[in-house]
């Protein structure tokens, strides 16, 4: 069983304004935590840029042109109060989406069992026609629709345990046959979507958690809602939106997960992947803003991936 670690130094060149939580330093922290002897079996892959055709599986040409056209020669361009571009943002965002697609290629070729994409900016808030919430392109959705169009995977699941609801990913799942989207997230919280009554619009399973919820509530929402629905869906490929901002030490939200919860959640998803999807899993980094803790969270997550 081989797990690939997909990344590219271009992802360091998406530079947020001073004090922004989605900062460059997040990536070296994550990569540093995956650099010890426990991770010596990881296959390191330098990722390609996503192609425009790959982005167009999810995004309108107008959105792609708009985002790429906003990239400033220096300084920052603002999309909204949370979402900025710097001179390196286009290549970073294209590497992020490209990583998920390349992970799909590697998994489908049998070269590797599964993959973790250590990339930024994150993607799950990006709507087909709107960048928002630190996200420019919806990388995980681009990868999911790529698996569907290139490899005829017709039962593709996306599991999102970032503390924020992946509004963009849900929109895309609602409008695409054969895409399952399940999310645990704090509610109420940005972006204000992800209510339980969203269920029934396609294959959407939202498990909102009240502020202050911890490991027990998180694990129960997986055991009682998300995993049974995932088993019923019988995915042929599973993607993970791996945000680590539900950790109790994260500064942006108020859930109280422990590092072990990321190992647990990943292991449970892997069980379903082995049973129905030939172990095919591609995970990508979303949020996680405590620089002192996201490394060990990512290490717990990748450890479970490496066990296959
Ligand atoms: Zn988040």
Pairing of β 84-85 and β 77-78: antiparallel
pTM over 0.95: yes
Q: Which residue in the list 125, 164, 185, 247 is annotated as catalytic?
A: 125
158: how many CB neighbours lie within 10 A of its CB?
Answer: 27
CATH of the domain at 188: 3.40.800.20
Judged by DSSP in three states, 239 sits in: strand
Domain that holds residue 238: 3-306
66 counts as catalytic: no
Name 114's bridge partners.
3, 281
Distances (CA, A) of 67 to 25, 177, 198: 23, 27, 29
On whether the CB atoms of residues 279 and 114 are closer than 8 A, the answer is: yes
| Per-residue tens of pLDDT for the chain, all 308 residues | 799 999 999 999 999 999 999 999 999 999 999 999 999 999 999 999 999 999 999 999 999 999 999 999 999 999 999 999 999 999 999 999 999 999 999 999 999 999 999 999 999 999 999 999 999 999 999 999 999 999 999 999 999 999 999 999 999 999 999 999 999 999 999 999 999 976 555 699 999 999 999 999 999 999 999 999 999 999 999 999 999 999 999 999 999 999 999 999 999 999 999 999 999 999 999 999 999 999 999 999 999 999 98
**Alpha carbon distance 301, 296 (integer Å):** 9
How far does residue 111's CA lie from ligand 1's centre (Å)? 31
The label of the residue with tokens 């949020």 reads 287
Q: What pLDDT does 1 receive? A: 77
44: how many CB neighbours lie within 10 A of its CB?
Answer: 13
**Alpha carbon distance 188, 297 (integer Å):** 24
How far does residue 162's CA lie from ligand 1's centre (Å)? 5
Count of domains for the chain = 1
How far does residue 216's CA lie from ligand 1's centre (Å)? 20
Q: Name, in order, each residue with C-beta under 8 angstroms of 4's C-beta and a sequence gap of 6 or more.
A: 42, 43, 44, 45, 103, 106, 111, 112, 114, 115, 116
H or E element in which residue 14 lies: none
How far does residue 36's CA lie from ligand 1's centre (Å)? 26
How far does residue 243's CA lie from ligand 1's centre (Å)? 6
How far does residue 188's CA lie from ligand 1's centre (Å)? 13
In sequence order, what E strands does the chain have?
A: 3-7, 43-46, 77-78, 84-85, 114-117, 156-160, 179-186, 203-209, 237-242, 281-285
Pairing of β 114-117 and β 3-7: parallel
Q: What pLDDT does 308 receive? A: 82
């Amino acid at each position: 069983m081989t797990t690939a670690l997909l990344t590219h130094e271009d992802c360091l060149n998406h530079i947020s304004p001073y004090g922004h939580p989605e900062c460059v330093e997040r990536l070296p922290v994550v990569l540093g935590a995956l650099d010890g002897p426990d991770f010596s079996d990881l296959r390191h892959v330098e990722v390609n840029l996503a192609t425009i055709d790959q982005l167009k599986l999810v995004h309108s040409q107008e959105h792609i042109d708009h985002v790429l056209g906003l990239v400033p020669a220096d300084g920052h361009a603002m999309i909204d109060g949370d979402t900025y571009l710097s001179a390196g943002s286009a290549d970073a965002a294209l590497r992020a989406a490209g990583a998920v697609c390349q992970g799909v290629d590697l998994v489908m070729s049998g070269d590797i069992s599964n993959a973790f994409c250590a990339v930024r900016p994150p993607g799950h808030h990006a709507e087909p026609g709107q960048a928002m919430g630190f996200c420019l392109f919806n990388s995980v959705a681009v990868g999911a629709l790529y698996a569907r169009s290139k490899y005829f995977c017709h039962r593709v699941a996306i599991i999102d345990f970032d503390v924020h609801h992946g509004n963009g990913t849900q929109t895309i799942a609602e409008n695409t046959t054969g895409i399952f989207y399940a999310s645990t997230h704090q509610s109420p919280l940005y972006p204000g979507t992800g209510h339980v009554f969203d269920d029934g619009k396609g294959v959407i399973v939202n498990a909102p958690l009240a502020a202050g919820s911890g490991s027990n509530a998180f694990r129960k929402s997986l055991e009682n809602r998300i995993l049974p629905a995932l088993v019923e869906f019988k995915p042929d490929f599973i993607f993970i939106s791996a945000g680590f901002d539900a950790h109790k030490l994260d500064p942006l939200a108020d859930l109280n997960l422990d590092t072990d919860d990321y190992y647990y959640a990943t292991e449970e998803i892997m069980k379903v992947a082995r049973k129905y999807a030939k172990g095919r899993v591609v995970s990508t980094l979303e949020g996680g803003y405590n620089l002192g803790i996201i490394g060990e969270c990512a290490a717990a997550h990748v450890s479970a991936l490496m066990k296959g």
